[in-house]
Amino acid sequence: MQVSDKKIVFNTVFEKLSVTIIDGRKLEYHSEYYEKKRNAFNIDKMIEGALAACGVEFSDISKIYVFCGPGSFTGIKLGLSMVYGLLCGSGERCVPNGLSLLDYLLFCGLQKKCDRKRLTAVIPGVRGEYFAKTMEPVKDDMAASFKNISDEFVVLSEKMALDTADDRYVADPLSKAFFTDEKLPSSIREGALTVKVEAEGILKFIDFCEETDNSRFLPLSPIYLKDTYAIKPKTETC
């Protein structure tokens, strides 16, 4: 019996949704969707559309990859609960893997340019903060570069401007808050590398994780990095 090697990858955590189907090491399908409001709600239709376009059913999929964050809290929860549902419906037959969007940005950024001592990937939060991760690249050695990475952290513009002005930044081109942040020196913003979540990047990143560094695969747990924005103090009045 031939074992299926079809994989589905989806991203709901930042701005643009994407669903990718990979067969072995070959890209079979990729779609993207962007809408200002309630963006993430379309992921179910995108998954169904992707399966239909490839003429497969979910039972043909052997692995699921999902971005667990950091990014939109709603997007993180939506993506992970969708994966939990898919797994439970398949009797846990599929192998799930979590991914960090910051790892992806660093991976693709490093492929574009490696001219500074440090590379910093950023994803803007909604209150002026950034979710970030830094890497000290080793020339022509992606695996070694990924050994020199920090944990994910939250940082404000002022601190970024002070501590990391010499870094090469990597951000998604839809990170408007980053590219228009006047608290950051223009050299940071203008010199930043832009990396999209797109078919080719996903294909290479999954391949790298599977073949070279599977410590990039994460458990299916949300990467929020921050508590809720909306906790109000306990009041004694009505």
Partner 1 sequence: MNILGIDTSCDDTSVAILKYCQISRKFHIKANIISSQVKAHGEYGGIVPEIASREHLKNIKTVFEMALEKAQVAESDIDLVAVTAGPGLLGSLIVGYSFAKGFTISKKIPLITVDHIKAHTAANFLSPFDINFPAIALTISGGHSSLSVLNSPIDAKFIGGTIDDAVGELFDKIARYLKFPYPGGPYIDKMSRAGSEKYKLPRPLINEPNYNFSFSGLKTAVINFTQKNPGYDVSDLAHSMTAAICSVFTKKIRNAADEYKARTIILSGGVASNSMIREAVTSLGEKLKVFVMIPEPVLCTDNGVMIAISGGLNYLYSPDKNLKNTDVYPTTRW
Q: Nearer to partner 1 by C-beta: 31 or 74?
A: 74
19 binds partner 1 (CB under 8 A): no
Q: Give the number of other CB atoms < 10 A from CB of residue 63.
A: 17
Q: Nearer to partner 1 by C-beta: 16 or 77?
A: 77
Q: Nearer to partner 1 by C-beta: 15 or 167?
A: 15
Which tokens sit at 17? Answer: 């949704």
Question: Minimum distance from CB of 137 to partner 1 (Å)?
Answer: 34
Rounded Cα–Cα distance for residues 201 and 29 (Å): 13
Nearest to 106 by CA among 11, 4, 209, 227: 209
199 binds partner 1 (CB under 8 A): no
115 binds partner 1 (CB under 8 A): no
Question: Minimum distance from CB of 97 to partner 1 (Å)?
Answer: 16
> Which residues neighbour 183 within 8 Å (Cβ) at sequence distance 6 or greater?
157, 158, 161
Q: Which of residues 20-79 bind partner 1 (CB under 8 A)?
A: 38, 40-41, 43-44, 47-48, 51, 57-59, 73-74, 77-79
**Contact letters (x/-) for partner 1, 125-164, by CB under 8 A?**
----------------------------------------
β-pairing verdict for 153-156 and 168-171: unpaired
Which tokens sit at 189? Answer: 């913003």
Q: How many residues bind partner 1 (CB under 8 A)?
A: 40
What are the start-end ranges of the H helices in 90-225? 101-112, 142-145, 157-163, 176-179, 186-190, 199-211
Q: Nearer to partner 1 by C-beta: 39 or 164?
A: 39
Question: Minimum distance from CB of 4 to partner 1 (Å)?
Answer: 14
Q: Which of 35, 53, 84, 141 binds partner 1 (CB under 8 A)?
A: 84
Q: Nearer to partner 1 by C-beta: 62 or 90?
A: 90
Residues that bind partner 1 (CB under 8 A): 38, 40-41, 43-44, 47-48, 51, 57-59, 73-74, 77-91, 222, 224, 228-232, 234-238
